[in-house]
Chain A
Amino acid sequence: MIEVKGLSKSFGDNHVLKNVNLLFEQGVPNLIIGASGSGKTTLVKCIVGLHEPDVGTISYDGRIFNQMNNSERKSIRKEIGFLFQGSALFDSMSVEENVMFPLRMFSHSTLKEMKSRVEYCLERVDLAGTNSLMPSELSGGMKKRVGIARAISFNPKYLFCDEPNSGLDPHTALTIDRLIDDITRESGITTIVITHDMNSVLEIGERLSFIYQGDLLWKGSNKEILRTDCTELTDFIYASEYMKEVRRHLISE
């Protein structure tokens, strides 16, 4: 479980996050939604320590992360898996080396054990047999899946996914969403997904948080979101004229 209390972050005069309070529970994907530039990525970067918040606290199962020194933070970071928007695979390493990387750095397993873990992770993301491929030889969807395999290779307690299906076709995007959902439920980990993809929201959005211009405006589920009264959220969901028409039908029903 990750808890964010009173989090604010500014870059100069630009107030990106304003007093955000959120609780991310384990065993179910927690989706943060919002338009581009609303502060979603900054929020997650604050949570993992890539940005320092101006005020507020971030706690991982009661351990207050932003009051820790560097070495204390390292112990928590080893429990974190992160899937980047652009996958952030290491260009100079093969798929196998990428997935094995956290194990090589931190585990005390033998090479055989590490290889076996890599095989499991690649099978889990349906990429068995791609061990020797380089990132430049992979499609966008495959890169995301290798990113997930790397993120879960060291059995993380916390999984962060920054727009995991951006740039993917709807079918591949749903595959990635289901994969994240399955891994979260099977392993009982705390997963935070940043997205502005409505397919993801409807597919795995049991717990949704809507960020608008740095404020947390709405919390709910995929069952509630379509009939919400929050104007900013409806503008976000029903952006096109066609979707506005769909909403009118939904409400009239």
Chain B
Amino acid sequence: MKILYHIGHYALFLKKSFEKPERRSVYWKLFIDEIVKLGIGSIGIIIIISGFMGMVITIQTASQIDGNFIPDYLVGWTTRQSVILEFSTTMLALILAGKIGSNVASEIGTMRVTEQIDALEIMGINSAGYLVIPKIYAFMIIMPFLVVISMFTGIYFGYLICELTGIISPSQYLFGLQYDFRPFDVSYAFIKSIVFAFVISSVSSYHGYFVGGGALEVGKASTRAVVYSSIVVLVMNYLITQMLLI
């Protein structure tokens, strides 16, 4: 029953958030700030994680197909498919659920316990809309760009490891990258990433917005935001994959 309560409460929260904004120009400035904070601020960690994952996928795949029957270029193909279909979308979303989810929940939660949200409400401002909508839109807009950066980084570092270690020849890797390429896979990745961005930003905001108490509760809300965002991302991943790929 508790989960039904939260689903209903979350739906009402979103309804309140999407009400007409008081002053669009103010929201626009917040939207740009959030793009910088949520998007640009995440590029560093995305490059580091994607780079290492690309290298590991390449090495693991190459080490598994050590034989005469499977061509080397499949290493490139496998790396590309793993990165595009799953790593740069779902894995990246789970990592960002940790980074951005906790950040958003603790920021909004702190505003709640220090009465800043009450201050907005008393002024006649739709606090849910003011705090949440710029984050949701900004993250949904910036997420596909982050996914592209992650894809290129992962695939490029896979290539780099071939160059450096000679585990397979770089030309075979490049051939595999282009082999049997389906542009729809990229569209599928973008659709997933936009849905994940919505889930992470809205679920985390929800947990931050309804914090009660003090600093301890803000910490708990931050943890809940990461856990529930991750679970919903995984559920949505299954549903979207079922709908689009089968």
Contact = CB atoms under 8 A, between A and B. Distances in A.
Contacts, number: 55
B116 A91 contact: yes
Contact of B22 (A85, A90, A91, A105): A105
Contact of A74 (B116, B118, B124): B124
Interface string A57-93: 0000000000000000111111010101110111100
B124 A48 contact: no
Interface in A81-114: 82, 84-86, 88-91, 101-102, 104-106
B178 interface: no
A88 B123 contact: no
A48 B122 contact: yes
Given A88-B114, A88-B115, A88-B116, A77 B23 contact: no
A88 B119 contact: yes
A50 B122 contact: yes
B125 interface: yes
A76 B119 CA distance: 14
Given A50-B122, A74-B124, A105 B115 contact: no
Given A74-B124, A77-B123, A105-B123, A84 B22 contact: no
User: Which of B23, B115, B118, B122 has the largest number of chain A CB atoms within 10 A?
Assistant: B122
Nearest to B19: A70
Given A105-B22, A105-B23, A82 B116 contact: no
B185 interface: no
A123 B111 CA distance: 27
A78 B125 CA distance: 9
B121 interface: yes
A89 B121 CA distance: 14
